[in-house]
Amino acid sequence: MDTPALYATAWAILPPLIAILLALITKEVYSSLFLGVLLGAVLYAGADFDGIINHLVNDGIIASLSDSWNVGILIFLVVLGIIVALMNVTGGSKAFGGWALKRVKSRVAAELATMILGVVLFVDDYFNCLTVGSVMKPVTDEFKVSRAKLAYIIDATAAPVCIIAPVSSWAAAVSSFAGEGQNGITLFIKCIPYNFYALFTLTMMIAIILMKFDYAGMAKFEMNAVENGDLFTVEDANALNADDADLGSDKGTVLDLLLPVVVLVISCVVGMIYTGGFFDGSSFVQSFSDSDASVGLSMGSLVALVIIIVYYVCRHTVKFTDLMACVPEGMKQMAPPIIVLTLAWSLKAMTDSLGLADFVGELVKNMGGAAVGIIPAVLFLIACVLAFASGTSWGTFGILIPIGLAITASHPELTTPIMSACMAGAVYGDHCSPISDTTIMASAGANCNHVSHVSTQLPYATTVAVVSAVCYVIAGYVHTPVVPLIVGVVLLLGVLFFFRSREGSYKIPEGAVQAKAE
């Protein structure tokens, strides 16, 4: 079909906007995403019914499920689901929960331990989301941390950590967008002090945990968890069915959880550097830069799965038939996030066919006439909107980073702030968009209702984004990260103290959870 009449117009943003609004209003994500995809097909094909169906099915759903990158991610998801099921049935999760509870003595410590584990698993956000959730759920449940809060901690240590980790799949993605003559990894490292959104997200998470309070939608979920013991507030059948760690063998040990996690981490790292040519002579950093995260993660996870099954067979804690029963069980637990991911990818296909990237590119490329110092802040806000609407950070990198580099040709002093602003805005969208794959997997990792996670996380992420925007205005004029970092931390803490003092925030009562947990 020829280029649609509405190509690269403001109509291109309507499908994701409708999907997001419907999800927040109806609290139901499947139909909301599907209607967004359907609207995209209608805008593309017009009144041609055959064209609508063809674009919806062939160019949307089938194309998304036949894309090699997407298939690799689905394989990785399914294998992770199987590994989690194996850790549960062998008693590894139960044993780790008991071990951790003897050492984690407070609600604050439980939340900080979850955050630290998320930071440690910085290699890839997908791996982070599902692994941290499966490992820390027994501990946070004991201290009545709501699943919405757990999902926020998981999500806030996924993309925001990966974007400031030089050895990660994200560093590889960003470096691949650098222009000719640019060393992508070197440029990435220079951008780290300017990545205000990622740094302030970690700052806010620590502050919220230590200040023992929550605000906006999260306050309701935390109050219900602490005072009523209801970890979900909004029940989710898939989440409840997935919480089966307590049903595992009593013969499990902490090693039955730690060894699979370590094997999985090592296998995934080796898989990624293998795809980047490490064993053909490339350096470790270069191989990460050239890696194919989808292939590397799927290869690594499959190898890890075989090793883990052999280990459990040798342990003789459960029957081999019980281990094999984890294969369909793990796949079943991953069905909800796989459905949401498929629809989210299909929605992106619709926006691509409507020229959303070109529409944004036209808005941005003539920005040179504006006050030069505010360019990083403007690019940051555009990246936020684009990534939130499209649900893809890497796609946003691909759209805005080349435009940002073109702007820096005439303003080289702004190269680092502009690049950082593009990355930070993309991470905001990846962090909190309802159709972002990382947001979807954070919900899955915490076994939390997806809309509950989105609605409670959005005010937190947006608070950080507003502070970050102010700091990018400052960075555009002072050309050093030190001043905006200091201003940003002071401003962020001031905002949090203000919210804490207002009616509607929820302060965790002293001793409300600790005494019971011990």
Q: Between vectors from CA 48 to CA 46 and to CA 53, what angle results, nearest 5°?
A: 100
| 216 and 455 Cβ atoms separated by less than 8 Å | no
* 8-37 mean pLDDT: 80
> What three-state secondary structure class fits 19?
helix
Structure tokens at 35: 């209607």
pLDDT for 336 equals 75
Task: Say yes or no to pLDDT of 150 above 60.
Answer: yes
Three-state secondary structure readout of 88-143: HHCCHHHHHHHHHHHHCCCHHHHHHHHHHHHHHCCCCHHHHHHHHHHHHHHHHHHC
> What three-state secondary structure class fits 213?
strand
Q: Which of 427, 494, 441 is nearest to 203 (CA)?
A: 494
Residue with tokens 């940003």: 488
* 477-482 mean pLDDT: 90
Q: Mean pLDDT over all residues of the chain?
A: 83
Lowest mean pLDDT among 229-238, 410-419, 451-460: 229-238
Q: How many residues does the chain have?
A: 518
Max mean pLDDT among 29-38, 210-219, 324-333 falls in 210-219
Q: Which of 409, 412, 404 is nearest to 386 (CA)?
A: 404
* 126-142 mean pLDDT: 80
Q: What is the pLDDT of residues 389-415, one digit of tens each?
A: 877 776 677 667 767 776 776 677 888
pLDDT for 516 equals 47
> What three-state secondary structure class fits 72?
helix
| 244 and 87 Cβ atoms separated by less than 8 Å | no
- Give the residue, 347 or 372, on which the prediction is more confident: 347
Q: Quick one: 369 exposed, middle or buried, by C-beta within 10 A (0-12, 13-18, 19+)?
A: exposed
pLDDT for 421 equals 93
Structure tokens at 391: 């649900």
Q: What is the pTM of this model?
A: 0.75
Q: Which of 200, 198, 157, 163 is nearest to 486 (CA)?
A: 200
* 311-320 mean pLDDT: 90
Angstrom distance (rounded) from CA 366 to CA 434: 30
- Give the residue, 240 or 78, on which the prediction is more confident: 78
- Give the residue, 342 or 222, on which the prediction is more confident: 222
Residue with tokens 């902490």: 254
> What three-state secondary structure class fits 502?
coil
Q: Which of 252, 322, 260 is nearest to 94 (CA)?
A: 252
